[in-house]
């Protein structure tokens, strides 16, 4: 009798372990295909990568890439709106399957999530009006700098900031840009694409690049453990670079084809 009870316990534990392993395997690519839907986090405040119109629709380079991924997967896309500081938390807590949100890769972020190959161009630096003469971080002493909380450029400028500079941090890119345009800050640390739109839309402000802090191409974020999905997205990027689709989107949104990206 004791032997039978022990056997039942062992069998039950084995079934639990088996079902747990099946649940683990069901995530990522397999779950997306099974459910017929992929949830992709995209930016709501970073044109031309992604922005939310007054009518409630999303548009931008990242949005088009997200839709192209869903098309290739043969599933519906659910666009999940994010800002810079919650991109990784949304992925880690399973609120999204992928993050396509003008995100640069660095070692700290790579501890939390995986990154695909680069899919979009990006550099970040300091921008401002022509009448302010700064050529490097040391020259910004005495000025007020606007930055978006949680972005790579905000973190990097904070590390490089000299004594006497005031950094004003805002929750999203749109608020940071508005603070700069309204004169609440003197200079803006942001990405090239966002600055390009500000320059184009506000010619009277005579905005120019003061100095480049770092080249930072964009990568798609994938949750740890979703290896099949990571591999699939890398093949997606490779394929659409070869057939010219990503070049066409880059020309449409950034005005030039994709550059050669460094590999990792």
- pLDDT tens by residue, 55-83: 889 999 999 999 999 999 999 999 999 98
Number of other CB atoms surrounding residue 45 within 10 Å:
22
In a domain? residue 74: yes
In a domain? residue 91: yes
- Could you tell me where the DSSP H helices lie in the chain? 2-25, 28-35, 61-73, 87-92, 107-110, 152-160, 173-181, 192-201, 227-242, 245-254
Q: CA 168, CA 148: separation in Å to the nearest integer?
A: 8
Number of other CB atoms surrounding residue 50 within 10 Å:
27
Whether 184 and 210 share a structural domain: yes
Whether 44 and 68 share a structural domain: yes
Number of other CB atoms surrounding residue 101 within 10 Å:
30
The whole-number pLDDT of residue 12 equals: 42
Q: For the chain, how many structural domains are there in total?
A: 2
pLDDT at 10 over 60: no
| Per-residue tokens: 78 | 């659910």
State the residue range of the domain holding 166.
123-215
Whether 170 and 127 share a structural domain: yes
Number of other CB atoms surrounding residue 204 within 10 Å:
5
Whether 152 and 100 share a structural domain: no
pTM, to two decimals: 0.70
Q: CA 239, CA 24: separation in Å to the nearest integer?
A: 29
In a domain? residue 52: yes
> Domain holding 185: CATH number?
3.40.190.10
Residue 195 pLDDT class (50, 70, 90 cuts): confident
| Per-residue tokens: 194 | 């966002």
Whether 135 and 166 share a structural domain: yes
Q: What is the largest CA-CA distance in the chain?
A: 90
* Lowest-confidence region among 5-14, 96-105, 227-236: 5-14
Tokens 């409630």 locate to 56
In a domain? residue 260: no
Least Cα distance to 27 among 219, 227, 221, 220 occurs for 227
Whether 55 and 102 share a structural domain: yes
At CA 203, angle to CA 201 and CA 207, rounded to 5?
100
């Amino acid at each position: 009798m004791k032997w039978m009870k022990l056997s039942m316990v062992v069998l039950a534990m084995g079934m639990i372990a088996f079902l747990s392993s099946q649940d683990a395997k069901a995530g990522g690519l397999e779950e997306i295909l099974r459910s017929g839907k992929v949830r992709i986090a995209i930016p709501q405040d970073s044109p031309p990568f992604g922005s939310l119109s007054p009518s409630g629709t999303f548009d931008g380079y990242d949005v088009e890439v997200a839709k192209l991924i869903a098309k290739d997967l043969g599933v519906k896309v659910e666009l999940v709106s994010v800002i810079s500081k919650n991109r990784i938390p949304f992925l880690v807590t399973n609120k999204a399957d992928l993050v396509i949100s003008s995100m640069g890769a660095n070692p700290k972020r790579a501890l939390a999530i995986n990154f695909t190959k680069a899919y979009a161009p990006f550099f970040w630096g300091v921008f401002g009006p022509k009448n302010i003469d700064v050529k490097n971080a040391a020259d910004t002493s005495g000025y007020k700098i606007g930055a978006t909380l949680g972005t790579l450029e905000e973190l990097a400028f904070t590390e490089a900031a000299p004594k006497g500079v005031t950094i004003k941090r805002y929750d999203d890119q749109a608020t940071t840009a508005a603070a700069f345009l309204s004169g609440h800050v003197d200079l803006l640390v942001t990405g090239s694409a966002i600055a390009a739109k500000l320059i184009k839309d506000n010619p009277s402000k005579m905005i120019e690049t003061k100095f480049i802090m770092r080249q930072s191409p964009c990568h798609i974020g994938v949750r740890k453990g979703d290896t099949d999905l990571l591999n699939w997205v890398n093949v997606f990027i490779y394929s659409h670079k070869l057939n010219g689709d990503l070049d066409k989107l880059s020309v449409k949104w950034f005005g030039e084809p994709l550059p050669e990206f460094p590999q990792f």
